[in-house]
Amino acid sequence: MLPPIERAAELIARSKDLVVLTGAGISTESGIPDFRSPGGIWSKYDPEQFTYQNFVSNPAHRRSYWQMSLEIHPVLAAAQPNAAHVAVAELERRGQLRAVITQNIDGLHQRAGSSPERVIEIHGTALAVVCLSCGDRLPREDVQARVLGGETDPRCRECGGTLKPATVSFGQAMPERETALAFEHAERADVFLVIGSSLVVHPAAYLPVRAVESGAKLVIVNLQPTPCDEMASVLLRGKAGETMAALVELSAS
Ligand SMILES: [Zn+2]
């Protein structure tokens, strides 16, 4: 039997409807800590405080959110795509990729060259801010500059409404359109490739199941075991960057 990486490369080489799902593990190699891991931001701040309900209803919570963002946002803004993001963009250039579904909010797929219309951000994006009243959308950088300049609870300049980063917060509903699209792509995939997700947060946890039920082969690239390992055709226990670079090279030949 071929080594796992070669079996995965064979599946990918033959794929015409490849769907990729990425999680925190692809971006840790770009220097973005997994917020849920020990030592991550949620071991320093209490996630219970940062719920959607608190943000919407309580100015004190909004002020501490924006205060925390002064610490987190520069890390996100400075991060560069790594070899795994570049490999995913290369699969799109080959014409094999249907979609990239990502749990990440860092915009690194787009910066690596993936087309924005193929990237489905199921947890939103940290690179934009929305007004919760009028829906106006602003670049995150502009609002961060206002916070840095002393606006502790920045307001919408159109309507005075509350501004919130366009990420999905604890206790906030998943975006309907993105979630529906993600499942639709999972159902149409011939190969479903997971990179750097431990597959424990919904709906990401259920996407590989739906893909396999609909006939896709599942390939998982992750350092730790996942609940979907048993249904995978190939498991690759490795770092996202080096594994994906090797996979993309092998599947081209
Ligand atoms: Zn507004």
How confident is the model at residue 49, as a pLDDT?
76
- Give the chain as a DSSP string: ---HHHHHHHHHHH-SSEEEEE-HHHHGGGT---TTSTTSHHHHS-GGGGBHHHHHH-HHHHHHHHHHHHHHHHHHHH----HHHHHHHHHHHTT-EEEEEES--S-HHHHHT--GGGEEETTEEEEEEEETTT--EEEHHHHHHHHHTT-SS-B-TTT-PBEEEEE--BTPPPPHHHHHHHHHHHHH-SEEEEES--S-STTGGGHHHHHHHTT-EEEEE-SS--TTGGG-SEEE-S-HHHHHHHHHHHHH-
CB 19 within 8 Å of CB 27: no
Domain ranges within the chain, ordered by starting residue? 1-32+81-123+175-253, 33-78+124-167
How confident is the model at residue 190, as a pLDDT?
98
Q: Give the residue from 65, 84, 67, 49 showing the smallest Cα distance to 193.
A: 84
| Residue 253 pLDDT class (50, 70, 90 cuts) | low
Distance 126 CA to ligand 1 centre (A): 18
Catalytic positions are 123
Q: Is 132 a residue whose pLDDT tops 60?
A: yes
**Helical axes 240-252 vs 83-93, angle rounded to 10°:** 30
Bridge pairing between strands 137-139 and 124-131 = antiparallel
Distance 45 CA to ligand 1 centre (A): 28
| pLDDT tens column, 25-78 | 999 999 987 766 655 665 667 767 788 999 999 999 999 999 989 988 998 999
How confident is the model at residue 39, as a pLDDT?
58
In terms of C-beta density within 10 A (0-12 exposed, 13-18 middle, 19 or more buried), how is residue 135 classed? exposed
How confident is the model at residue 85, as a pLDDT?
98
Please tell me the total number of residues recorded for the chain in this structure.
253
Query: How high does pLDDT run on average in the chain?
Result: 93
| Residue 83 pLDDT class (50, 70, 90 cuts) | very high
Stretch 233-245: mean pLDDT:
97
How confident is the model at residue 202, as a pLDDT?
86
How confident is the model at residue 116, as a pLDDT?
97
Architecture of domain 1-32+81-123+175-253: 3-Layer(aba) Sandwich (3.40)
| pLDDT tens column, 201-222 | 888 899 999 999 999 999 999 9
Query: 33-78+124-167: which CATH topology?
Result: SIR2/SIRT2 'Small Domain' (3.30.1600)
Stretch 6-35: mean pLDDT:
94
Distance 77 CA to ligand 1 centre (A): 24
| Residue 152 pLDDT class (50, 70, 90 cuts) | very high
Looking at per-residue confidence, does 223 or 49 come out higher? 223
Q: Which residues surround ligand 1, an ion (CB under 5 A)?
A: 131, 133-134, 136, 156, 158-159, 161
What pTM, to 2 d.p., does this model score? 0.94
Distance 51 CA to ligand 1 centre (A): 21
How confident is the model at residue 40, as a pLDDT?
60
Distance 253 CA to ligand 1 centre (A): 52
Distance 49 CA to ligand 1 centre (A): 24
